[in-house]
Amino acid sequence: MTKLLILIVVVLGILAVAQLARVYELTSKLRGKREEDISDADNRMNAMLMWLFPVAYFGFFLWLVIAYKDKMLPLAASTQGVETDALLDFNWWILIITFIITNALLFFFAGRYVYSRDRRAHWYPHNNKWELAWTIAPAAVLAVIIIYGLNTWQNITSPASPDALQMELYAKQFDWTARYPGTDGMLGATDYRLINGENPLGIVTANAITKRLAEIEQEQAEARMQLSGVLPDAKRADLEHHMDYLGRIAARIVNLRMVMEEDIRVNGQASTYLHGADDVVTKDFMLPLRKEANILIRSRDIIHSAYIPHLRVQMNAVPGMTTSMKVTPTITTDSMRTHVMNDEKFDFILLCNKICGASHYNMQMPLIVTTALEYDAWIAEANKKPFEAPEVPVEPAAPAATDSSMNSGAGSQPVASLPSAGQ
């Protein structure tokens, strides 16, 4: 019924416009006027609108600035952000002045030089001086913009200092996980084939490899059992296909183990394969104040983007590679709440800013910036629940060891409670 009504309204609307146009056409025909002859009245009306438009245009702009000034991102909460904001403000001055001058000239001339039968346009096909002037002027201004911009870019993207805090953000559809190096201060190696329920980030340890291989073996055994029974052909083909797949994945993991063992033999304690066990995998994203953090970013499935608007930092999470961004927070979450935003519920938010599927619009994780003291307390607590309990030997001696570590199940559970996250 509503559909019908809408349809009727639309049709009637079109008919009304059509009739108006008809009437206009007939009257102008009666007056002997041709369609291409633009009457003086029409020219004057448009010229007037050309003058009125910028008033409305600039007015709208002004209204938006005044009404929404306080709803833009608040002051940047990182040293990098403070620098980009200064650059942005500098650019705004140049752009807004150019915007107003060029638009004012455009609409002023458009309205001012409206057609008159008694006048001829000024013959002025070119003037090299002017053309040179408005090639050089923008070039000079742009040179400043480019140099200032690149200088800032250099500061923001230069490699993080060696003593920066290392941590990792891991993206998947549709959530984030954080990983902190354990007491050894180094993040362990990862491999996506090791990912399972208790190893969501695919951290490589000898133990994780053993468990994953055992898991695959069990899956193969189940599949074999099914295959020995009666099955429809299609299902059988699928299962056989899956068996082959499991075999290849297992072979890759065995290969990974050889690479790992070789690396450990060559590099000893420096090998990244020895640093995964004490990593902290957590849903809490914490950064200490005024400490440079080098955030490594990885993705499990597709491209995501780690975007923290209040800190003015962003970097894509790309499957198959590790990207990074450095950030030095300058305001704690508490200070933001009490001093900047006057909002007890305020949080810095890490959000996904690259289209990634149905729940892209809700892929977020709060970031808590604390004082160094609070951070140290938190990380000490978190370190008590590493990825793998420390008593597990590096070389898995017996399957029994595997079982016991399974039961200890550190894996994916959230770790520790936050000093200031609770509201």
Partner 1 sequence: MGAHAHTAHAGHAAGHHEHHHHEESFISKWVFSQDHKMIGKQFLVTAIFMAWVAVIMSLIFRLQLAWPGEGFAFTNFFLGDKWAPGGVLDSNMYLALVTIHGTIMVFFVLTGGLSGTFANLLIPLQVGARDMASGFINMLSYWFFFLSSVVMLASLFVEGGPASAGWTVYPPLSALPKAIPGSGAGMTLWLVSMTLFIASSLMGGLNYVVTILNLRTKGMKMTRLPLTIWAIFLTAVLGVLSFPVLLSAALLLLLDRTMGTSFYLSDIHLAGEALENTGGSPILFQHLFWFLGHPEVYIVLLPALGITSEIIATNARKPIFGYRAMIGSILAIAFLSFIVWGHHMFITGMNPFLGSVFVATTLLIAIPSAVKVFNYITTLWRGNIIFTPGMLFSIGLVATFIAGGLTGIILADSALDIAIHDTYFVVAHFHIVMGMSAIFGMFAGIYHWFPKMYGRMMNTKLGYAHFWITFICSFGVFFPMHFIGLAGAPRRYYNYTEFPMFDGVVDLNIVVTIFAIVGALAQVIFTYNFFYSVYRGPKAVQNPWKSNTLEWTTPVEHIHGNWPGPIPVVHRWPYDYSKPGKPEDWVSQITPLDPDEEEH
DSSP string over 207-231 = HHHHHHHHHHHHHHHHHHHHHHS--
H or E segment to which residue 338 belongs: none
The residue within the footprint of partner 1, chosen from 146, 237, 394, 406 (CB under 8 A), is 146
Site membership for partner 1, residue 62 (CB under 8 A): no
The residue within the footprint of partner 1, chosen from 255, 359, 413, 417 (CB under 8 A), is 359
Taking CB under 8 A as the criterion, which residues in 202-241 touch partner 1?
Answer: 202
Dihedral sign for Cα 25, 28, 34, 38, please: negative
State in angstroms the smallest separation of the CB of 282 from partner 1.
Answer: 19
State in angstroms the smallest separation of the CB of 114 from partner 1.
Answer: 5
Site membership for partner 1, residue 195 (CB under 8 A): yes
The residue within the footprint of partner 1, chosen from 9, 29, 221, 413 (CB under 8 A), is 29
The residue within the footprint of partner 1, chosen from 24, 218, 238, 413 (CB under 8 A), is 24
Site membership for partner 1, residue 376 (CB under 8 A): no
Euclidean distance between CA atoms 406 and 108, whole angstroms:
77
Quick check: 137 and 81 in contact, CB under 8 A?
Answer: no
Site membership for partner 1, residue 102 (CB under 8 A): yes
Residues 80-99 as x/- pattern, contact with partner 1 by CB under 8 A: -x-xx--xx--x---x--xx
Site membership for partner 1, residue 249 (CB under 8 A): yes
Dihedral sign for Cα 300, 305, 309, 312, please: positive
Taking the least distance from each CB to partner 1, the nearer of 171 and 379 is 171
Instruction: Tell me the backbone φ, ψ of residue 329, rounded to 5 degrees.
Output: -65, 140
Site membership for partner 1, residue 11 (CB under 8 A): no
Q: Which amino acid is at 294?
A: N
Candidates 287, 260, 279; CA nearest to 366 is 287
**Number of residues this chain uses to bind partner 1 (CB under 8 A):** 123
Q: Where are the beta strands (DSSP E) in 248-288?
A: 280-282, 285-288
State in angstroms the smallest separation of the CB of 402 from partner 1.
Answer: 20
The residue within the footprint of partner 1, chosen from 30, 66, 120, 422 (CB under 8 A), is 120
The residue within the footprint of partner 1, chosen from 62, 235, 245, 394 (CB under 8 A), is 245
Site membership for partner 1, residue 21 (CB under 8 A): yes
Q: Which amino acid is at 333?
A: T
Taking CB under 8 A as the criterion, which residues in 269-328 touch partner 1?
Answer: 300-303, 305, 307, 309-310, 312-316, 318-321, 323-324
The residue within the footprint of partner 1, chosen from 206, 277, 351, 416 (CB under 8 A), is 351
State in angstroms the smallest separation of the CB of 283 from partner 1.
Answer: 17
Site membership for partner 1, residue 32 (CB under 8 A): no
Site membership for partner 1, residue 421 (CB under 8 A): no
H or E segment to which residue 400 belongs: helix 399-408
- Residue-wise over 19-53: b if at least 16 C-beta within 10 A, else e? eeeeeeeeeeeeeeeeeeeeeeeeeeeebeebeee
Site membership for partner 1, residue 335 (CB under 8 A): no
Q: Which two tokens stand for residue 247?
A: 């075999």
Site membership for partner 1, residue 149 (CB under 8 A): yes
State in angstroms the smallest separation of the CB of 383 from partner 1.
Answer: 27
Site membership for partner 1, residue 339 (CB under 8 A): no
Site membership for partner 1, residue 139 (CB under 8 A): yes
Could you tell me the strand order of the sheet in which 175-180 lies?
280-282, 175-180, 165-172, 293-299, 323-327
The residue within the footprint of partner 1, chosen from 9, 55, 183, 192 (CB under 8 A), is 192
For partner 1, which stretch binds (CB under 8 A), given 255-263, 282-290, 352-360, 400-408?
Answer: 352-360
Site membership for partner 1, residue 19 (CB under 8 A): no
Q: Count Cβ atoms within 10 A of the Cβ of residue 409 and give its class: 0-12 exposed, 13-18 middle, 19 or more buried.
A: exposed
Instruction: Tell me the backbone φ, ψ of residue 149, rounded to 5 degrees.
Output: -65, -45
Cα 292–Cα 295–Cα 300 angle in degrees, nearest 5: 175
DSSP string over 283-311 = S-EEEETT--EEEEEEESSS-EEEEEGGG
For partner 1, which stretch binds (CB under 8 A), given 125-133, 275-283, 286-294, 369-377?
Answer: 125-133
State in angstroms the smallest separation of the CB of 185 from partner 1.
Answer: 24
Euclidean distance between CA atoms 392 and 387, whole angstroms:
11
Taking the least distance from each CB to partner 1, the nearer of 352 and 415 is 352
The residue within the footprint of partner 1, chosen from 9, 17, 227, 380 (CB under 8 A), is 17
